[in-house]
Structure 1
């Protein structure tokens, strides 16, 4: 049975799967888009704006994150998602405030830190403003911000593009409720001005330290929050002269604190991430392969096995001991376990570890 956790950041919710030990099967680590859509479906699956995998690092990071949108596409980064991942790591490992993680993402190394109040502060790195890095076909203005105008739905829209490891377009408007939000969001997401598509944020400026946005996320549509979008919005607002370098960005799901004090440096985002529930996936929801979602990882069973022998690596050109194949024995044991153990028993086994994890989290937070 594959364990998972559900977390949300300002209503932007994710299914999180632990895989730092390297034991997840390839069908989970590199999931089929149809399976991602299936488990993210709110009626027929687990429900979520995306799937997040915590994986072993490939470089200098402590771990690696892969995040998949609800439509099955892979995202480069997600601000709310990485806050949820950080909180998940802290809850899983019993970490205290001050703990930070170096997390590898397709957008580069991102470093979240657990704060005293339980919120997560994230060094999101420097924004990308060169058009080819966003990417966008808009041209930079005198401040280096890609800008332009388009006509859509009978309106003339001013656009500003910012990259935060993923593409964003910020659209200042006078009234967030009056705009045809869904029509404009869907059109701008796929506009040819944005070769990799884009996240879309409609911005209402209430004051130089008070910004409000409505979010249309690439691959997900309307969502309650977008952390990278809040960062991109502040950067665009600063360069357009609409905002101070630090402001509260209010999203439909709640506020985020965003700071960009050094225009050559990182954007910092601080906001909440909350555990919703832990669970185990029904085998019917699993992709093809082992029902527990784990890769077969046979271990030496007898002293006759050569020291340090690892058939996953040593037998790439063919089995080196066909008379005693460790992989076949391990798979046979798994099949025997599955055949002899009821679904209720497997759920109880998984539930025991989930219950212990939840109790540890409560005790650490001083609630129990």
Structure 2
């Protein structure tokens, strides 16, 4: 592969390596992506964002998302905000309202005058077949066993990627480290799932921690924030406009209810740019990466 230019970005501490596949073609294997995302041997990140030309002329760009385990996923809320900031700052476009192709469909981020990015994240999906979730029928919430001794109540939905959200009393004591992996790999989720832990402070404010599939707990999760607000709204416990506090900072999420898209507003920051030498597959395989 040789020398690879990259940009390091973060949205509320959820950090990304952004790669330009518009001005130069990219060809990276999963083992190289894992190395690049490794915080000890590579650059280090939660996800890698891969920018490409749009496949449909009515759209502006296409972008792909890879977790640090090398697996490709369909959507990333903090990532799409960083993507929008990246293509504008890199002079790939001067437009402030974009149409972006993802595996989850077309997203529409807008760069605001204060530097934040507002994104139409689309409508949430509840049909188990579309999440995917191996539930016998659509229900408001689901009881899932986590081992022999623990059963939790979850709201399950998709924001372009699957989420299982539970309400907890105190976010600081939420069992994210222990139960997050069990939820992620629960056999009822054939493509794994993001596990959200939500403390409801009042009708306009929640605290959130998310164990992301393929990444573990991150400082913030944009689609997780959207999913949590949708879950809280469907439980009758939240208003349409909600401030979501994560370890990395705050997002503003708006959902008017069924038939409406979820809107997300938050920051996107460039940390630094650089170049890195990507080892070839033989080198990484020999090193046991």
TM-score normalized with structure 2 length: 0.91
Unaligned runs of 5+ in 1: 290-368
> Is the 2:31–2:281 Cα contact (8 Å) retained in structure 1?
no
TM-score normalized with structure 1 length: 0.72
2:80 to 61, 69, 82: 82
1:193 to 178, 188, 193: 188
Q: Which residue of 1 aligns with 2:120?
A: 123
Matched, 1:36 2:33: yes
How is 1:207-246 mapped onto 2 (pairs within 5 angstroms)?
A: 207-246=202-241
Describe the superposition over 1:260-289 as per-residue Cα deviations: whole angstroms up to 9, x where unpaired.
12420210000001000000112xx24469
1:68 to 66, 69, 73: 66
How is 1:293-332 mapped onto 2 (pairs within 5 angstroms)?
A: none
> Which structure is higher in strand share?
2
Q: Secondary structure at the match of 2:173?
A: coil
- Output the CA distance in 1 between the equivalents of 2:162 and 2:125: 9
1:17 to 10, 16, 19: 19
Greater relative contact order, per chain length (Cα 8 Å cut-off, separation 6+):
2
- Output the CA distance in 1 between the equivalents of 2:204 and 2:134: 30
- Output the CA distance in 1 between the equivalents of 2:163 and 2:200: 18
> Is the 2:174–2:197 Cα contact (8 Å) retained in structure 1?
no
Describe the superposition over 1:244-264 as per-residue Cα deviations: whole angstroms up to 9, x where unpaired.
111011111111000012420
Aligned length: 277
Unaligned runs of 5+ in 2: 283-289
> Which structure is higher in helix share?
1
Report the Cα offset of residue 2 of structure 1: 2.1
- Output the CA distance in 1 between the equivalents of 2:6 and 2:192: 30
Describe the superposition over 1:188-223 as per-residue Cα deviations: whole angstroms up to 9, x where unpaired.
001012111100001110001001111100100010
Q: Secondary structure at the match of 1:2?
A: strand
Q: Based on CA coordinates, which of the two structures has the bigger radius of gyration?
A: 1
Q: Which residue of 2 aligns with 1:45?
A: 42
